[in-house]
Amino acid sequence: MSHIKTVGILSTGVIGAGWAARVLARGYDVIASDPGQNAAEILQSKIDNAWPALIKIGWAKTTTPPAIRFTDDLEELARTADFIQESAPENIELKRKLHTELDRYAAPDVIIASSSSGLLPSEIQADCRHPKRVMIGHPFNPVYLLPLCELVAGSKTSPETIDRAEVFYRSLAMHTLRVRKEVEAYLSDRLQEALWREALHIIDEGIATPGDLDAAITYGPGLRWAFMGTFKTFHLAGGNQGMRHFMKQFGPALKLPWSKLQAPELSDELIDKIVTGCETESGGRSIEQWEQLRDNCLIDIMRTLRPYNVASGQTLAHDEANRLTSQDHQRWHKDDDITGPLALHTSVVEPGWIDYNAHMTEAAYLEAFGWASDALFRYIGIDETYRAKGNSFYTVETHINYIKEVSAGEPLRFTTQLLGLDDKRLHFFHAMYHGLSGDLLCTTEQMLLHVDMEAQRACAILPHVSAALNAIMSAHRSLQVPAQVGHQMHIKPKT
């Protein structure tokens, strides 16, 4: 979405502030508006609280959030923004009025999306002059981390609007889910609402506390839902015959009066039970403390799922691949100038790489070199498609030399020199330099083994990758071997 530079955030409560934080971390400018008292200050505090999580997941590239533009003028927001995300309260009259005003002032090609969690887009766009650009983009809290975004078209929304919005949301590392039919509450909220109603009945009848019900999810089905959802889980529960056997065995139970669909009356007594239970479960921690704990848990769950390429882990993996290929990672060509060390990767020291001494941690150097290795792999033809066929390089030995400290935000550039190659092994040397001063900061020497991942054994490098590596190796064979190559760690005895 190269033409989208500035995103307008209308209404900056929990959802709007989450959008603002995510958009900022992904490199867009933000203009925000909210009529509430002290709204600008409250928005900034929410972004500040979200920023550590955005640093940890690797999206935020600065230690503090970039400045945002706040305005009380709805017309200014509409005329400035290249994409507008409205997150006002769930009131159809209010949303219809706001979208009519936004539609009046925004350029005709600017998409206006609502974060509504249940209202119909056809009703929201009803009074707009350009209804074809109005749609639903429904996120999930915390918006700055969770990947799901439901896309819902109204009766007058154009297919192009949904297509363009999908590209934009994916640039935010989101998983877009097109709702096939316009319906109240869309998909996820309908499922959540059913569980919520049943939970209210259980508490109202004195069967369990809020803590009991949270435990019933977090220690059981919630863990499966993080990567399988309901249908895959039950498909496995049917054994070798899958879902058909499951339905045959457990389907009759649906006729039993176990659950209640209608919500109970929200009496003062029921509300008090829920509030007291939640306060007890919170254990004295503030909302901000729970938010940061939740964020850290979510990040680690998503990262755990990433190597398995499922659910939110797959979204992270796709985003990392897109970020790499969006840089200058070209593919090897026989006419390339490869007479010197390859310059395939640049980056900056990310805030999450910094320790208590304000310098890059030991592990972060290896992570940075890992990105440089990935740039080399992509250059010679090893990408997601190559790995999907069952082949990859595994690191079997690493030697690293730390030479000079570097701090957050400083630019880095990497060079790569091939030292050795045969049909199964690759020996190379990375050097990390300061992007401005040119000072050498760190080096690593690595030996990699090409493997058949299914057979879990070494195998020959595939022909097109081998051709690229052999061409580079021929050019690098005459280069001077770096001084750090082959060093052993030892302390000379005193003479």
Contact 98, 79 (CB under 8 A): no
CATH of the domain at 244: 1.10.1040.10
Q: Is residue 304 part of a domain?
A: no
Query: Does 374 share its domain with 392?
Result: yes
Asked if 367 and 422 sit in the same domain, the reply is yes
**Same-domain check for residues 342 and 452:** yes
Please check whether residue 24 is in contact with residue 47, taking contact to mean a CB–CB distance below 8 angstroms.
yes
Sequence letter at residue 179:
V
Domain that holds residue 172: 6-186
Find the CATH number of the domain harbouring 126. Answer: 3.40.50.720
> Do residue 131 and residue 79 come from a single domain?
yes
Whether residue 180 sits in one domain with residue 195 = no
Q: What's residue 324's pLDDT?
A: 65
Q: Domain check: are 237 and 346 in the same one?
A: no
d(CA 436, CA 412) in angstroms, rounded, equals 8
- The reply to whether 493 falls in a domain is no
- Identify the pLDDT of residue 74: 97
* Total number of domains constituting the chain: 3
Residue 295 belongs to some domain of the structure: no
Query: Model pTM?
Result: 0.77
What CATH number has the domain bearing residue 419? 3.10.129.10
Nearest 5°: phi and psi at 289? -65, -40
Q: Residue 247: its pLDDT value, please?
A: 80
Last residue of a domain, one of 220, 254, 284: 284
Residue 293 lies in a domain: no
Q: Are residues 182 and 218 in the same domain?
A: no
Task: State whether 276 and 340 are in the same domain.
Answer: no
User: Which DSSP state fits 64?
Assistant: S
For residue 1, being part of any structural domain is answered with no
Q: Do 449 and 332 fall within a single domain?
A: yes
Same-domain status, 81 and 169: yes
User: For residue 212, is it within any domain?
Assistant: yes
Q: Tell me how far apart the alpha carbons of residues 390 and 460 are, in angstroms, rounded to a whole number.
A: 12
- 419 within 8 A of 445, measured Cβ to Cβ: yes
pLDDT by residue, tens only, the chain of 495 residues = 459 999 999 999 999 999 999 999 999 999 999 999 999 999 999 999 999 899 888 899 888 999 999 999 999 999 999 999 999 999 999 999 999 999 999 999 999 999 999 999 999 999 999 999 999 999 999 999 999 999 999 999 999 999 999 999 999 999 999 999 999 999 999 999 999 999 999 999 999 999 999 999 998 899 888 888 888 888 888 888 888 878 888 888 777 778 877 878 888 998 898 888 888 888 888 888 888 888 888 888 888 888 788 889 888 888 877 776 655 457 888 889 999 999 999 888 887 788 888 889 999 999 999 999 999 999 999 988 898 899 999 999 999 999 999 988 888 999 999 999 999 999 999 999 999 899 999 999 999 999 999 999 999 999 999 999 999 999 999 999 999 998 777 787 887
Residue 252, preceding peptide bond in cis (omega within 30° of 0)? no
Q: Does residue 138 share a domain with residue 13?
A: yes
For the chain, how are helix, strand and coil distributed in percent, rounded to 5? 45, 20, 35
Residue 307 belongs to some domain of the structure: no
Last residue of a domain, one of 186, 208, 234: 186
How much is the pLDDT for 421? 97
Q: Which two tokens stand for residue 487?
A: 């060093």
| Structure tokens belonging to residue 167 | 């590209």
Whether 407 is covered by a domain: the verdict is yes
pLDDT value for 251:
80
Indicate the residue among 186, 206, 236 that finishes a domain: 186
How high is the pLDDT of residue 325? 64
Residues 156, 275: one domain?
no
